[in-house]
Amino acid sequence: MTKSPLQRSSLRRRVVLWTTLVVLLTMGAVFVLTRSFLIGQVTDSANAAVEQEIEEFNRFATEAVDPHTGEPFTTSRSLFEAYLSRQIPDDEEAMVGFVDNHMIQMDYSQLGGHHPEPLAYEDPLVAEIVNSPVPSGIWKDVHWAKVTVNQDDMFATVIYSAQDRADVNSNLWWIALISFGGLLASIVMAWLISGQVVAPIRRLQEVASSINNSDLTQRVPVDSDDEIGHLAETFNAMLDRLELAYLEQRQFVDDAGHELRTPITVVRGQLELLPTTPPEERQRSIDLATAELDRMSRMVNDMLTLAIADSGDFVKPESVDLTELTIEIDDKASTISQRAQLLEVAEGTATLDAERITEAVLELFSNALKYSDDSVEIGSTLHGSGTDEVVRFWVRDRGQGVSKERQAELFDRFKRGDQYAARPDGAGLGLSIVKAIAEAHGGRAYIESTTGLGSIFGIEIPTKPQRPKIGDPK
């Protein structure tokens, strides 16, 4: 899929661009709303002013008397002249009377300020007022209202709002100028803040690009306790796991090569000697080579089993009767050696892979046979209750035991305890397979040993389904 130019740009530029767009849209919306509000205020103020002047004129026409006669006004002219003589209009305001196609108005422009010049009869505004069928209106930037007196005469008041609108536009330009400064400040702040956000990500990228197959020691510096810091910690934890897995894999390959070298050397030696070996000794050479090949085959099968365990698709749990399973394991152990002795049998059910559990216990049993001349005891027991209930399958031998210093690494691949070293017939993978089976069930492999008295090897499995991925930290 083709990426847009925005998607191909750096994260820092995208942050600045989107911040700029958001600020611009916000400023535009504020500018439009502010202008509408201020212009609305100008309009409302002008409308209110003309309405107030008309109300004052109506009140004067109703209540006032002619100062010359002391009686109500009898002509429109005398009414208009008396009213206008008593008024000083506000800035941008004009008042005019229309009598028999003549205009009656006062010239207030001499007073200074923003008083407009008197209206001319030819002014288009006059024609708009006189000819309009409605009592009020807006012509360009002029608000006006009129009232009819004595059927044919009119009194009108006019408010010019052009200056107020100009003041609004002037203020808006200042607002726009200040907003532009704010936009520039927001761009600078976005650039600086995005730089602080992107810097740890760049360091993470640099560390990731510096990692190779021979060096997994690089780590990302953790300088904060925020989301970026947590990301760095998570990335470092991932590198820790990768480094550990790489070291274990390299050690596994080295150990496997070392373990396979011996049988290969023996087989090669026997085959090279075979042509010169006397006929009566040839069968012995063939038997030795075959035994080494069998050992190599077992070693390869064990490594394949561990590879399957590492893949995660290792066990297929189902509900199993623990009593029947324990008895079946004892029957199979008895076919291997008559020294098998069943001591305890758990009663109940558990969700587990019966074949893998059997494989694990028989591996422990075969291991115990090598280092004990006495009977080897087998058993299963239940511990705990509810969701914490576990079943233990265990094997007890009467051998020399394993020192506490070696117990921790006994289940590691290609590791053997002191007592194992005296016997060359194991590759150190059997107990690793037992551990993998236990962990695939969400459990663990364990050892309880006393030097000189023997050992108990076992696996502890939850009776309810708990299947973490192989390799998950416990």
Give residue 417's pLDDT: 47
The tally of CA atoms less than 13 A away on the side-chain side of residue 55 is 6
Report if residue 424 sits inside a domain.
yes
Report if residue 192 sits inside a domain.
no
228 and 145 in a common domain: no
110 and 67 in a common domain: yes
301 and 368 in a common domain: no
Structural domain boundaries, residue 366: 316-462
Report if residue 43 sits inside a domain.
yes
Q: How many domains in the chain?
A: 3
320 and 306 in a common domain: no
Give residue 423's pLDDT: 36
46 and 132 in a common domain: yes
> End of a domain among 259, 294, 311?
311
88 and 62 in a common domain: yes
The residue length of the chain stands at 474
Where residue 331 sits, what CATH number does that domain have?
3.30.565.10
154 and 10 in a common domain: yes
> End of a domain among 284, 311, 338?
311
333 and 234 in a common domain: no
Report if residue 191 sits inside a domain.
no
CB 285 within 8 A of CB 277: yes
Report DSSP state, residue 276. Answer: G
Give residue 466's pLDDT: 61
3-state SS class at 463 = coil
Where residue 263 sits, what CATH number does that domain have?
1.10.287.130
> End of a domain among 129, 148, 165?
165
321 and 294 in a common domain: no
Q: Which pLDDT tens digit goes with each residue over 430-465?
A: 788 888 889 888 899 999 988 778 889 999 999 987
What would the two tokens of residue 379 be? 């058993």
Give residue 407's pLDDT: 76
Give residue 216's pLDDT: 74
CB 430 within 8 A of CB 363: yes
Give residue 292's pLDDT: 80
418 and 326 in a common domain: yes
Report if residue 189 sits inside a domain.
no
Give residue 426's pLDDT: 45
Which residue numbers in the chain have pLDDT < 70?
1-9, 111-113, 213-214, 251-252, 255-256, 258-259, 262, 309-313, 413-428, 466-474
Cα separation values, 90 from 50, 121, 134, 158, Å: 11, 22, 24, 11
419 and 288 in a common domain: no
Report if residue 184 sits inside a domain.
no
Distance CA 314, CA 469 (A): 10
135 and 46 in a common domain: yes
Between β-strands 444-450 and 454-462, what pairing exists: parallel, antiparallel or unpaired? antiparallel
State the distance between the two ends of the chain, measured CA to CA, in whole angstroms.
41
